[in-house]
Amino acid sequence: MNIDWDNLGFDYMNLPYRFLAHWQDGQWDAGALTSNNMLTINESSPILHYGQGAFEGMKAYRTKSGQIQLFRPDRNAKRMQDSADKLLMPQVPTEMFLDAVKQVVAANHDYVPPYGTGATLYIRPILIGVGENIGVAPAKEYLFTVFAMPVGPYFKGGMVPTKFIVADAFDRAAHYGTGQAKVGGNYAASLQAGKYAHEHGYGDAIYLDPLEHKYIEEVGSANFFAITKDHKQLQTPKSPSILPSITKFSILDLARDRFGLEPVQTPIAISDLDQFSEAGACGTAAVITPIQSITYGDTVHTFGDGSTGEYTAKLYNELTGIQFGDVEAPAGWIVPVEV
């Protein structure tokens, strides 16, 4: 093994082990680690045609003392259960989910990057409908697999404020559609908007609500947050088509409990950004990304002087401090992995 820990990006890597379990006749088998990174599935599998599948994204962190830990993995288990319900798939029980994740991390522990590099082990659980099934109906068989790969920090050498553009010609998800579920279809629907944003020199696209195109929904595949100019509130959008980000709920709690801000979930109008002194995007991959500016039609709204905001930096340090074990975590947020 010869990995340049300081220069990892976000790329697939074929690690020695992944977990694979099979659901059939109403139950999950025990599942097991396997070294085979190929799935063999029937050509009529519903995941291939009708998108019946969900995924999760989470990370394992190496602490200063060399331990390995997970950040709120029970929340990922719960969210995958909610996604399963939405797509009429069997749930993966929380214990089974956590056990699979721990097994994969422990079996590949050499690939959890060293403390201090900012790099982490990215973990990708997926649940897919497979088996013979050409009609539009839920699958009769499912696979649950968990694989992992080391990934670099989102920022190399400090936080970089990023410019975003409102993708007014595109919607990501509908209010009573699959916006709250972590499913591939939402990502397929986001590719055009992402391409548009990147081609115009922006970090990603900002989606507005699908009904009126007035309220902010998501920043690429991350949630949005903003701090009011009076430094009293941290606001995040409220909408039925936003993916419930675990990072978002965590910073709502940290804002209240550690920085004295009132956490508020409310519709945030794209025409009402003047009330904020700073804003950011948050998610497992994006961690906390400061938003420099938002372009909407002919207007460019810059937050403050465009540099990383005071509370954005504090929240980033607190969150990553907790994740890497340098800052005391709220009860239940950190789950150690025994190697």
Residue number, 58 or 107, with CB nearest to ligand PLP? 58
Size of the site for ligand PLP (CB under 6 A): 13
Smaller CB distance to ligand PLP: residue 107 or 128? 128
Residue 130 near residue 122, CB atoms below 8 Å: no
Assess whether 232 carries a catalytic annotation. no
- The yes or no reply on residue 182 touching ligand PLP (CB under 6 A) is yes
Token pair 């969210």: residue: 79
- Backbone phi, then psi, for 146, in 5-degree steps? -130, 120
**Diameter over CA atoms, the chain:** 59
Residue 75 belongs to what H/E stretch?
helix 73-86
Window 277-306: residues binding ligand PLP (CB under 6 A):
283-284
User: DSSP 3-state assignment of 67?
Assistant: coil
Whole-angstrom distance, CA of residue 37 vs CA of residue 50: 23
Interface with ligand PLP, residue 246, by CB under 6 A = yes
With binding defined as CB under 6 A, does residue 235 bind ligand PLP? no
Is residue 120 at the binding interface for ligand PLP, with CB under 6 A as the rule? no
> Residue 124 CB, nearest distance to ligand PLP (Å)?
11
Question: 55, 122 in Cβ contact below 8 A?
Answer: no
| Binds ligand PLP by CB under 6 A, chosen from 239, 247, 293, 312 | 247
Find the shortest distance in angstroms from Cβ 282 to ligand PLP. Answer: 6
Q: Identify which range of 105-113, 197-205, 242-250, 269-277 contacts ligand PLP by CB under 6 A.
A: 242-250
Q: Report if residue 167 touches ligand PLP, rule: CB under 6 A.
A: no
Member of 52, 245, 295, 323 binding ligand PLP (CB under 6 A): 245
Nearest to ligand PLP of 221, 239 (CB atom): 221
Does 204 interact with ligand PLP (rule: CB under 6 A)?
A: no
Cβ atoms 230, 204 nearer than 8 A: no
Instruction: Read off the tokens for 252.
Output: 């709502």
Angle, nearest 10°, between helix axes 310-323 and 246-259?
A: 110
Which token pair is 196?
Answer: 């548009």
Least distance between ligand PLP and beta carbon 223 (Å): 5
Output DSSP code: residue 284.
T
49-88: contacts with ligand PLP (CB under 6 A):
57
**Residues in 211-230 at the binding interface with ligand PLP, rule: CB under 6 A:** 218, 221-223
In the set 182, 229, 238, 314, the catalytic residue is 182
Give backbone dihedrals phi and psi of 299, rounded to 5 degrees, phi first.
Answer: -100, 145
Q: How far apart are CA 217 and CA 208, in angstroms?
A: 5
Tell me the C-alpha distance between 197 and 217, whole Å. Answer: 16
Least distance (Å) between residue 222 CB and ligand PLP: 5
91 binds ligand PLP (CB under 6 A): no
Paired sense of beta strands 334-337 and 68-71, if any? antiparallel
Interacting residue ranges for ligand PLP, rule: CB under 6 A: 57, 182, 218, 221-223, 243, 245-248, 283-284
Would you name the residues annotated as active-site residues? Answer: 182
